[in-house]
Amino acid sequence: MSISTTMSNINRIQKDIASLQKQLSDEQRKEAQLSGKINQIKRSVTKSTSLSTLNSKMSEISRHKNDISRCNSKKADINKKITAKTGDLHRYQLQLIKEQENDQKKRIAAQKKLEKEQLDYQKKITRELKSQKRAISPSHKFNRPVINKSDETEDITESYDVFISHATEDKDSFVRPLAELLRAKGINVWYDEFSLGWGKSLRKTIDYGLA
């Protein structure tokens, strides 16, 4: 049974109990009114009350007592239903707790599985990059002249292990995170955001790297 179904059952039973409690309250109020009428009739009987009047009042008292007896019977039946409904309510509440605990365990397990898959993927990428780095000989590294900020010193040739070329739409979703991951692993990456200075030609810079 799902959590939503269990909660629906709990809400339904709580409404049933509230309705039964109202019925019980109505019967209790009715019983109190009948008892009040009986006491009022008894107080109205005096020494001067005629026999016929007395018999009439006694009959009225008897009817009220019968009504009270019916009220007591209804109250007993209502209390029995409330007890049964309360038992059902407790059972569903315990079931809800178990279902919520199981759901929480499933979410935690799914999160751990996702984290493991991400970690395994990162390890795989790292292994592949290390393998590619070992396969690249120094003669195939990408070079480009780096101009000192003063523009007066000689060009400094900087070596790269990996050259990243990409489509613009892939920059935010894939390329930048990949470039940052490679740099974090100690791999020297040529990537336009890292290696292309302000006002420099992308084409010329790539030509330097491919030279």
pLDDT in tens, the chain (211 residues): 788 999 999 999 999 999 999 999 999 999 999 999 999 999 988 888 888 888 998 999 999 999 999 999 999 999 999 999 999 999 999 999 999 999 999 999 999 999 999 999 888 888 888 888 777 655 444 444 554 444 433 444 566 677 776 666 666 666 777 878 888 887 877 766 655 554 455 555 555 544 4
Residues 172, 11: Cα–Cα separation, whole Å: 48
User: Cα–Cα distance between 165 and 177 in angstroms, integer?
Assistant: 14
Spell out the residues 6+ positions from residue 195 whose beta carbon is closer than 8 angstroms to its own: 144, 160, 189, 205
Of 194, 127, 138, 184, the closest CA to residue 161 belongs to 138
pTM: 0.52
8 Å CB contact between 131 and 187 = no
Copy the structure tokens of residue 149.
């900020």
DSSP element (H, E) containing 158: strand 156-160
110 bridge partner residues: none
